[in-house]
Amino acid sequence: MKVKVREAVFFVENQKVFGMRILDLTKGDKNCLVALVDGTPRDLSYILTGSENNIEVLGFNSEIGRETYWHTSSHILAQAVKELFPEVKVTIGPAIEDGFYYDFDTGGYNFTEDDIKRIENRMHEIIKMDIPIERIEVKKTEAVEFFRDIGELYKVEILEEINDEYVSLYRQGNFVDLCRGPHLPSTGYVNAVKLLSVSGSYWRGDEKNARLQRIYGISFPTNEELERYIEKLEEAKKRDHRVLGRELDLYSIHDEIGPGLILWHPKGASIRHIIENFWIMEHLKRDYELVYTPHIGRSKLWETSGHLDFYKENMYPPIEFDNQEYYIKPMNCPFHIMIYKSKIRSYRDLPIRYCELGTVYRYERSGVLHGLLRVRGFTQDDAHIFARPDQIIDEIRSVVEFAFFILNSFGFSDYQVFVATQPAESVGKKEMWDEATNALKRALDDMNIDYNVDEGGGAFYGPKIDIKIKDALGRSWQCTTIQFDFNLAERFDITYRDKDSVDRRPYLVHRALLGSIERFFATLIEYYGGNFPLWLAPIQVAILPISEDNIAYAEDICTTLKNLGFRAKVDKSNEKLNAKIRDAENEKIPYMTIIGKKEVEQKVVAVRRHGSGDLGQMSLDRFIDILNRELKGGKDH
C-alpha cells in the first residue's frame, strides 16, 4: 500500500497498518489535515483495515484540506456561540469558497459587534484548549432522540430527511454536531481565525421559514496568511461595485421600483452603450444576425420549451388577459427558435447564428440579491446557433475563440474553464447528454485548453462550457456560458432539409459571452476599481477653466474633441481650480485640461492624467494624438 504524507511516499506492509490510525503516520504534524483514502476524504483518525490501495494525506494547500480546515472552524464557531448563548439553536455551518459560515436561530435577536468580538475571543480559547474532535457513528433513531432531547430541532428535521440507518456525529468537548465530515483531529489544528460579518438568512433559503443570523468567518494556518487575506478584503471593499456605483453615479436601485431592478444613470448608460456597440459590431463581423424579441410570451410557448416544468419557480406569475396566460420571459431561446421556424431551412443555410441583447426577468429571492451581480431584470448578451452535426465542433471552437477575444478586449486574461454535466433534473436521453458533453470536451481538447469537469452543473436542457475570469484580486467571476442543446430542437420540432431532401434535426448552441450586461459591468467596476480604461470611460476629458473668462475657449476645445468622437465636458462651476481637479480625480476621469489666461493666449492646453498628475502644456493637436495613441494601444474598437 502506498501512503503519501505531504511530499514523502511510504510503502507499508498490510499487516503493519491493520488497526492503525492515519494520524499515527503523520506524527501530529499540523500541516497534515485530512486523508484521501482510495479517493474518499477521511479524518486522520480513520482506522486502516489493510485493504486500502492508496492514501494521500493533504494539507491546507489542497482544496479538500482547506474545506476541512474551514468546516472545522465553523464547528468551533458554533461551539463558541452555544457556550455564550445557550438558548440559540444551531442549523448548518458549511465551508464555502472563501472561509465558512454558521446559521443560528437566535429567536429574533441580532448579534452586535460586541457579541461578535466575544464569540471570536471564545473561539481562540477553544482553539488554545486543543480539544480532540471525535467522530461517532450512531443509529439515525438514536441521533434523532439525542438532538430532540437537547432541543436542537433543526438537526432533527435534517435527520428525518436522511434515509441511512446510521449517521455520523462529531464531538468536541460538550459540543456535538450532526455532520458527514471529515474534520481536523482537534481544535488546536486551527490557528488564525477572524469573524468577518453577520447577515440575515432564512432556514433553507425560504423567506417563509424562520429568520436566522449568519456569521461569516475565515481562518488560516498562519497569522501572516490571515493578514494578507484581510488586506485583500480591504482592497475589495474599495472596489465594491455597489459603493463605486454610487460614488461615480453609475446606477441605482430603489425600493419604490423594486428590488433587483436597475436604473442606469447617464454615466453607467454611456459605458453600457460602448459595451453593447462593441458587442454588436464584433458579432456582425462574424456573420451573426441581430434580432429583437418581445418581453412576454404565451404560456404554450413555455410549456413547449419545458420552462414551466423545470424553471417555473424562477419565473414571475402569469399575466392573464383575453382568456390567455402570458409569462414575462426568463430566457430568449424560444423566441429565437420561432424565428428559425418561420420558414423552411436548407442544409445550405446552416449554420445560422442569431444574436440579441435581450432583457429577461427571473425571480431571485430577496436574500440573494446583490447589487448588479444578482438581480431580477437583466440583459443577456445572448445568441443561438443552429448547425448541422458536421459543423458543431467547429462552431463550438469558434465560440470559445470569440469569447477569449471579447474578454481579452476588456482587459481579462486569466481564465478557468469548466465543462458542466447532466444535473439530477433534466430533459433528454442519457445518450443525447453523453454525445453533447463529448462534443464540448472534444472542442476544448482540439484547442489544447485545460478544463475542469463540473459534475451535475449543467442546465436542465443541456451540458455547457463555463468560462470564469479572475480579477485583479484573484477572485473568480462567471461570464461566458456555451450551452449545447438538442433537447429544445426536439421539443420545438425544428428541422432543416438535407441535400438528400430528408428533414433532419439541427444542433442548437446557446451562448452568452459576457453572461449579462449587469453582471459584467459589476465585474468591470471591481476589476478596474472604477478607473476605466480610456475607451470605456464615460467622460474621457474634463476641461477645467480657471475663471469665467476662460470658458469660451474651454467650450471650443470641448466642441473640437466631441466632433472627433471623444467624450468631454466643461466644468463651469464657480469652484476654485483645486476643487475642480479634486472633483475630476474623484470621478476618475482619465484626463483633465486646465484652461487659464496663458493657455487662452497661446492656444494650448495644460494636461493632467488621473492618478499621475501634471503632463505639462501642449498643443491641442498633440493632446489629441496622445488620446488616439492610448485608445489604439488599449483597445482597437
Q: Which residues have a catalytic role annotated? A: 333, 362, 380, 382, 384, 464, 510
Dist. CA 568–CA 584, nearest whole Å: 12
Separation between Cα atoms, residue 161 and residue 206, nearest integer Å: 17
Q: Strands across the sheet with 452-454, in order?
A: 289-290, 352-361, 377-387, 507-512, 476-485, 464-470, 415-420, 452-454
Q: How many CB atoms lie within 10 A of CB 559?
A: 12
Q: Among all chains, which residue has been given the C-alpha cell 428525518?
A: 160
Cβ neighbours of 586 (radius 10 Å):
12
Classify 200 as helix, strand or coil.
strand
Phi, psi of 494 (to 5 degrees): -90, 145
In order of 196, 239, 473, the CA distances from 234 in angstroms are 11, 9, 11
253 half-sphere exposure, CB direction, 13 A CA radius: 20
In sequence order, which residues have a C-beta less than 8 Å from that of residue 346 and are 6 or more positions away?
Answer: 496, 497
Rounded Cα distance, 189 and 43, in Å: 13
Locate all alpha helices (DSSP H) within 286-411, ordered by sequence: 299-305, 307-310, 333-340, 392-409
Cell digits for 372? 448588479
